Amino acid sequence: MSTIRDLSQDAEAESHQSFDVVIVGAGFAGLYMLYRLRELGLRVQVFEAGGNVGGTWFWNRYPGARCDVESMEYSYSFSEELQQEWNWTERYATQPEILSYINHVADRFDLRRHIKFNTRVQSAFFDETKSLWSIQADGTSMKASFCVMATGCLSAAKAPEIEGHDRFDGETYHTGLWPDTEFNFTGKKVGVIGTGSSGVQLIPEVAQQSKELYVFQRTPTFSLPAGNRPLNSAEVSDIKRSYTDLRKRARISPTGVASYPVPTQSALEASPDEREIAYDVRWRIGGTAYTRTYNDIMLNAQANQTAADFARQKIKARVRDPEVAEALTPKDVMIGTKRLCLDTEYFETYNKPHVKLIDIKNTPITEITSKGIRTSQTEYILDVLIFATGFDAMTGSILKVDIRTSSGLSLAKKWKEGPKTYLGLMTAGFPNLFMITGPGSPSVLSNMVVSIEQHVEWISDCMASMRLNGRLQIQATSSAEDDWVHHVNELSNGTLFPLGNSWYLGANVPGKPRVFMPYVGGVGRYREICTDVASNDYKGFEFKNT
């Protein structure tokens, strides 16, 4: 089988292990990338820091962890046999079910033998004259023609910037790095910092076990009922029968989810009564499509307020103590500008007498002590401390790898003022380095599996075409990148998204440049652009043959 470059001719490459492609990460993206490249006959090595496949689903094994995209759609579409044979059991899959699915995929397609587990990539260096990446990973050194970052958008867990955060003597957990060990909170005093999606999913579960639960909330969150339920066999069979069509619709839809509505009416055109009914219908259906009840909720502040006010009123109705209800209700913030949370009995959990909400906006945490958490008011003595403090999203896991080139470029330096990419696939100055769902692509604003499949297929088609045409190097041109960054910013500035203090903007990481990272133009439109680029001989990219 021919390879992109015959590495055995290269003395230096020979002294290292050499591959056509190194892939960093063995989550949904890394596994499918490996599958596709192996189909092309390329020699591929995957490095995975975790002890098994799954990526974010390997690490986020906290109690209550669940996907917020429906399971029948949050799954691979590339294999008809796989999608027909796998049986999802709930509307939203739990983390254990997703993990067993991805393990099944790894076994079914015999992917494990190409993956080195428990191996973290530290650096990647591109030698432009040899057209080779050198990858250093926990003492292993590899050469490869291409490097693909399949590192995930939510994979770099963020420690809280709180004085003494490593001082606590009791059990400590981070939702994004949850250990694969038994735990039992029965009879314990537990503290949770963070009320984003992870906190919202975890808190009701921990409340069921713990003797006392203290939730330290900095910002109240908009959370909607997930409406989770078991799937029945008739609906599963129905979906499976129409899978081909459903997947097609997902690929051209705005969000990568075929079942989400594409609204045509403005919230401001509807009467208050009509809105009340429409929001109530969506609320009962459950899910994040609530903000798709009307077409301008994420475009117009007044329209947004109608949806936010309805949600506020619903939150208040779920909590008995009016003071607690007030503290849990988001104020002065537009709904959906921070990622919406989906919950099962989150707000109702605060009706339990042993669950206490500590509003750390009013009484800030001053330090973490060896015994618990001290606020400006008192010290909370705890047995267990759980950080649900989120991630350095989208760029964090890419920049954890020290990426440089022989012409003296460093990716960390290049992205100091924020990430710059062409299509979220490549960044100028770094030849043969691809990103899957990188900043500048729909990524976290979409069904990730749909966006992953699109990127993987685009990248593997690109490599196949390079091989066919004897091309050794590809990189984005600076002008195409500048135009793309401009386009991404222009689109997001036409929406309300940049007005929220969200991880989409890096606002949750002190010192991180405030740049809205995902592409808001929609999955279908984005796919058309990428297809058009490829069919115009990779317009905006340049090739080198030597």
Name the nearest CA neighbour of 248 among 483, 10, 73, 84.
Answer: 73
Angle at 403 between CA 399 and CA 404, to 5 degrees: 145
Binding flag, residue 95, ligand NA7 (CB under 6 A): no
Encoding tokens for residue 343?
């919950």
* CA gap 31, 14 in Å, rounded: 26
Q: According to CB under 6 A, which one of 194, 500, 506, 522 is a site residue for ligand NA7?
A: 194
18 versus 255: smaller Cβ distance to ligand NA7: 255
Among 109, 116, 130, 160, binds ligand NA7 (CB under 6 A): 160
- Residue count at the site for ligand NA7 (CB under 6 A)? 21
CA distance linking residue 481 with residue 541, whole number of Å: 9
Q: Are the beta carbons of 395 and 158 closer than 8 angstroms?
A: no
Q: Which residue has the tokens 């890394």?
A: 30
Give the burial class of 423: count Cβ atoms within 10 A of its Cβ; 0-12 exposed, 13-18 middle, 19 or more buried: buried
- Nearest-approach distance from CB 38 to ligand NA7, in angstroms: 30
Per CB under 6 A, does 219 bind ligand NA7? yes
By CB under 6 A, residue 388 contacts ligand NA7: yes
Stretch that binds ligand NA7, among 108-116, 196-204, 288-296, 516-524 (CB under 6 A): 196-204
Contact call for residue 172 and ligand NA7 (CB under 6 A): no
Closest residue by beta carbon to ligand NA7: 196
Sorted by sequence, the CB contacts under 8 Å of residue 431 that are 6+ apart come out as: 126, 128, 131, 405, 473, 474, 475, 544
Asked if 395 touches ligand NA7 (CB under 6 A), the answer is: no
* Among 77, 198, 306, 405, contact with ligand NA7 (rule: CB under 6 A): 198
Residues 6+ apart with CB under 8 A from 109: 31, 35, 79
Residue 503 corresponds to which amino acid? W
Q: DSSP state, 70?
A: -
Residue 445 has which token pair? 């604003």
Decide if residue 135 touches ligand NA7 (CB under 6 A). no
Q: Which residue number, 204 or 431, has a Cβ lying nearer to ligand NA7?
A: 204
Q: How far is the CB of 449 from ligand NA7 (least distance, A)?
A: 14
162 or 472: whose CB is closer to ligand NA7? 162
- The residue within the footprint of ligand NA7, chosen from 72, 193, 258, 403 (CB under 6 A), is 193
175 vs 437 by CB, closer to ligand NA7: 175
- Distance in Å, CB of 101 to ligand NA7, minimum: 18
Is 503 an interacting residue with respect to ligand NA7 (CB under 6 A)?
yes
Q: Out of 53, 137, 154, 488, name the contact with ligand NA7 by CB under 6 A.
A: 154
Q: Which position among 25, 64, 196, 440 is part of the footprint of ligand NA7 (CB under 6 A)?
A: 196
How far apart are alpha carbons 325 and 318 in whole angstroms?
Answer: 8
- Yes or no: say if 79 and 299 are a contact pair by the CB < 8 Å rule: no
Residues at the contact surface with ligand NA7, assessed by CB under 6 A: 154, 160-162, 175, 193-199, 218-219, 339, 388-391, 503, 508
